[in-house]
Structure 1
Amino acid sequence: MNRPKRALLAVVAAGLLTSCGGGSGSDDPGAPHGPRTGTATPSPSTSPERVTPKTQLSVPSVYDTTRGWESDLPGTQIPLPHSGAVAVFREGGRNDGTFTVLDVTSGKTLWKSEVKGFGLVSAFSVTVQGKDYLVASASGAKGADIVSKGREVTTIDIFPARAAGDNVTPAHHLELDGEGGVSNGGGGLLAHFDEDVVMTVDPVTGATKTYDLRKMKPPASECTLCLGSTKAVAVTPRGPLLATNTQPRRHYWVPGAWSGGTLTTDRENKIFIAPVKDSLVAQWRDEGAPNDTWAVLDPATGKIRAKVDCAPDQRVTADDSKGASLSAGGRYLVRSHTAFDLDKGTGHCFEETDQDKPVHLTGVTDDGVAFGIGASTADQADPRVTIDLATGQVQPGDYIVAPFADYSGYGLFWDDATNTMVAYPHAK
């Protein structure tokens, strides 16, 4: 088992941290956040090299807090790492919302767009073939009035993340029959209409494909007796990744491409897979092995890109991808207590063992610097740490707030006290 050395010491922080966790929607000020709201002010017009943000946060030493920009534009922050931008989506009334996309190096507005749907509009991003897309979707009744119930539809608007102008129109507008839920499937969009029908949407072309899950049983070699229905859990370049809809799920396959049963010698195929952006994180234990194997899989082939052995029984759960982070360049991936170098095919474990306390990882930069939360002590709750993924060395951190994203030479931070997004450049 690749167990990195520890260098955890007692740390005195500037204040007490009140919560742990690293998933989206967490109240942890040091975790990578998704939705955040604030009140609008203009973005600064001066270059970031000559501006000291008014909001000064306690952040890792790799950032220079004397430079940067800040915005308390209200809405949900959506990082766009391949586009050098960050979007803010503000829900409007019942049937609309607004995208405002800012340049991550200056905070200047690149483009805006109003989106409309039938029902509450939600938004997220998806990355396909190295390009970011913004997606707004809604489900509701079209044409409903005091007489007619209207027709149930699901709308999807897809925008390339890098655009310009004050009223950008979507590259693709889809109006699908039926009330459904649209989500990020990693390699594309997933639209679920009921338990048995799922549709994939290609953000690049807008093309759709519908699958009847009742007809998509596991390969005979995958399991001899699979109970429960089939569920689509991700989108791969070869089609949807399917799983038996039982908890915990043990059988995964991409029809006509690959199946999870080839990953392990365990006859029962006790495999757990969670999508992380356009990658897949898997965990299993080979028959007779003392430790679990953790791996990052290529979604197109199911082949292992990186792996590491960890102490057993630290399993993936259904929502684990919310606390995961992939570096902007795609080399490093962290989730919970595991970290991977996808170029070298290696990984590190920071789980709890008989000798070591656990470290929960919350983010990582392209330089291989990871951020995390150590085990609480009597003197300090949720101490911050930094990890050098080249060595696996854990060091105590003298910061309180970790970035929720890092790319284009800037870290993006959230200040709970003022509802402000702050961008600091890397220290030179």
Structure 2
Amino acid sequence: MAVVAAGLLTSCGGGAASDDSGGSHGARTGTGTPSSSASPERVAPRTQLSVPSLYDTSRGWESDLPGTQIPLPHSGAVAVFREGGRNNGTFTVLDVTSGQSLWKTEVKGPGIVSAFSATVNGKDYLVAAASGAKGADVVSKGREVTTIDIFPARATGDNVAPAHHLELDGDGAVSDGGSGLLASFDEDVVMTVDPATGATKTYDLKKMKPPASECKLCFASTEAVAVTPRGPLLATNTQPRRHYWVPGVWSGGTLTTDSENKLFIAPVEDSLVAQWRDKGAPNDTWAVLDPATGKVRARVDCAPDQRVTADDSKGASLSADGRYLVRSHTAFDLDKGTGHCFEETDQDKPVHLTGVTDTGVAFGIGASTADQADPRVTIDLATGQVQLGDYVVAPFGDYSGYGLFWDDSTNTMVTYPHAK
């Protein structure tokens, strides 16, 4: 595999955004239309949603730019990625406090372009990746390549160039691995990418066997499931609970007294969430791990739950300041090293957590009743107290003093500030 280019970030300045709403509504970004110059501190978005009382719906802004919304919590921004029809797409990045466009650029690839964000060491990056044939024509099939374009989340102007452009040999799949990007090319070869520098490192999984003391009978193939600061996190077989290790650094067997040493571990940004049960223990242990060392940062014991699936981290969320982490029915305070369980027990109904703010206010969905389906709740993580909420829509992001919401009925992103 070869990296063809890795360039420095360049950008050009852009002018102030113009008003498309006559100044009578909050800032609104439309298809191909810049943000309103109206101040979100003084006017209400025209779209009014039922949201938690933490937010002031009399102020804010909204955007109907088509595409996928990508929160950038450490950059005070939110990106909208619109996939194009000819192996291309467009990033538009908006300031979360005003809705004004910060920068915009088009990305192209040899195949369908996918986009996502990655956060490493407190810095956000936007990533566009694609795989396909390069140089194909009526005679030649060309060669299979994978391209990766990496942008710092905070830039200015139009036609912003990527900080790093990588062109790798082979048909690969690129994803956010936690502490870096993870590119998988076949069953045996993976590559890690540092989004800050564009540096790559290739690993041959056939040569990376688990510690013999933990996995004497492992015959299944090895898979890379995350990126840590000290190499890829590897696992055997395809089950949610399995053997995990970072070659030459740490392994999951040091976490539990169970001789089988089978755990569940999944990345949540640049942290790892883990579950295991010690030998003879009545409860499961849930924990947040330091990916560099495998040491426990926070933990809590919960009633046994056998419904863990391999993609169980998809609903997980980390507060913008990195203190609180929620995942399914668990919540952690990483500063205090503690956690709360909201799983179903003989006495309690389950609560599924969907997000959390820097102040430790978590949002979730409780068990349905005869009177109310999927009731919304809020949770004070300082006390673990659950309260029935009077809202319908929870934020998909909360940072810089604003909550980001999505309105399905109008395909509109709406942003409200915290109530003063």
TM over 0.5: yes
Aligned residue identity for 1:188: G
Paired residue type of 2:284: D
Query: Partner of 1:18 in structure 2?
Result: none
For 1:421, which of 400, 413, 416 is the aligned residue? 413
Q: Which residue of 1 aligns with 2:200?
A: 208
Out of 262, 268, 272, the residue aligned to residue 260 of structure 2 is 268
User: What are the residue-to-residue correspondences of 1:135-154 with 2, within 5 Å?
Assistant: 135-154=127-146
CA contact (8 A) 2:329 2:352 kept: yes
Matched, 1:336 2:332: no
TM-score by length of structure 1 reads 0.90
TM-score, structure 2 length as denominator? Answer: 0.92
Q: Secondary structure at the match of 1:214?
A: helix
Residue 163 of structure 2: which of 165, 171, 179 is its match? Answer: 171
Residue identity in the other structure for 1:374: G
How far apart are 1:315 and its partner, in Å? Answer: 4.8
Query: Structure 2: how far apart are the matches of 1:122 and 1:88?
Result: 12
Q: Percent sequence identity over matched residues?
A: 89
Is the 2:214–2:260 Cα contact (8 Å) retained in structure 1? no
Q: Name the SS of the counterpart of 1:261 in structure 2.
A: helix
Is the Cα contact below 8 Å between 1:125 and 1:133 reproduced in 2?
A: yes
Deviations 1:368-404 (A, max 9, x none): 0000000000111000000000000000000000000
Amino acid across the alignment from 1:163: A
Separation in structure 2 between the aligned mates of residue 130 and residue 154 of structure 1, nearest angstrom: 27
Aligned partner of 1:295 among 287, 292, 316: 287
> 2 CA distance for matches of 1:222 and 1:408?
45
Q: Distance in 1 between matches of 2:34 and 2:139?
A: 45
Structure 1 stretches of at least 4 aligned residues deviating more than 3 Å after TM superposition: 38-42
1:406 maps to which of 398, 409, 412: 398
Pairwise CA distance, 1:224: 1.1
Q: Which runs of 5+ in 1 are unaligned?
A: 1-37
Contact 1:281 1:297 in 2 (8 A): yes
Aligned mates of 2:333, 2:308 — CA distance in 1: 19
Alignment of 1:25-424 (within 5 A): 39=31, 41-424=33-416
- Pairwise CA distance, 1:245: 2.2
Please identify, of 175-184 and 244-253, the stretch whose mean Cα deviation from structure 2 is larger: 244-253
**Alpha carbons of 1:45 and 1:103: their partners in 2 closer, same or farther (altered >3 Å)?**
same
- More deviation in 249-258 or 166-175? 249-258
What amino acid does structure 2 have at the position aligned with 1:52? A
CA offset at residue 41 of structure 1? 4.4
Q: How far apart are residue 352 of structure 1 and its match?
A: 0.3
Shift of 1:325: 0.5
Q: Deviations over 1:319-376 (max 9, x none)?
A: 1111110000000000100000000000000000000000000000000000000000
Whole-angstrom CA distance in 1 between matches of 2:102 and 2:313: 29
SS at 1:123 equivalent: strand
Q: Answer yes or no: is the 8 Å Cα contact 1:75–1:89 preserved in 2.
A: yes
Q: What does the per-residue CA deviation read over 1:207-239, in whole Å, with 9 as the maximum and x for residues that have no partner?
A: 011000000000122211112000000000000
Shift of 1:122: 0.6
Q: Output the amino acid matched with 1:84.
A: G
Q: Distance in 2 between matches of 1:64 and 1:411?
A: 10
Q: Secondary structure at the match of 1:372?
A: strand
Mapping of residues 13-32 of structure 1, within 5 Å: none
How far did 1:316 drift? 3.2
Q: How many aligned residue pairs are there?
A: 392
Counterpart residue identity of residue 383, structure 1? P
Greater relative CO (CA pairs within 8 A, separation 6+): 1
Contact 1:227 1:246 in 2 (8 A): no
* Cα pair 1:94 1:121 within 8 Å, conserved: no
| Aligned amino acid, residue 273 of structure 2 | V
- The alignment yields a C-alpha RMSD, in angstroms, of 1.2
Q: CA deviation at 1:40?
A: 5.3
1:246 Cα deviation from its structure 2 partner: 3.1
In structure 2, list runs of 5 or more residues that go unmatched: 1-29
**2:320 aligned counterpart, secondary structure:** coil
**Is the 1:280–1:296 contact (alpha carbons within 8 Å) kept by the matching residues of 2?**
yes
For the residues of structure 2 that align with 1:248 and 1:76, how far apart are their CA atoms?
Answer: 28
TM-superposed CA distance for 1:314, in Å, is: 4.2
CA distance in 1 between counterparts of 2:295 and 2:32 reads 46
CA contact (8 A) 1:314 1:351 kept: no
- Return the alpha-carbon distance in structure 1 between the equivalents of residues 195 and 308 of structure 2: 28
- SS class of match (1:83): coil
Q: Following the alignment from structure 1 to structure 2, what is the Cα–Cα distance between the partners of residues 246 and 90?
A: 33
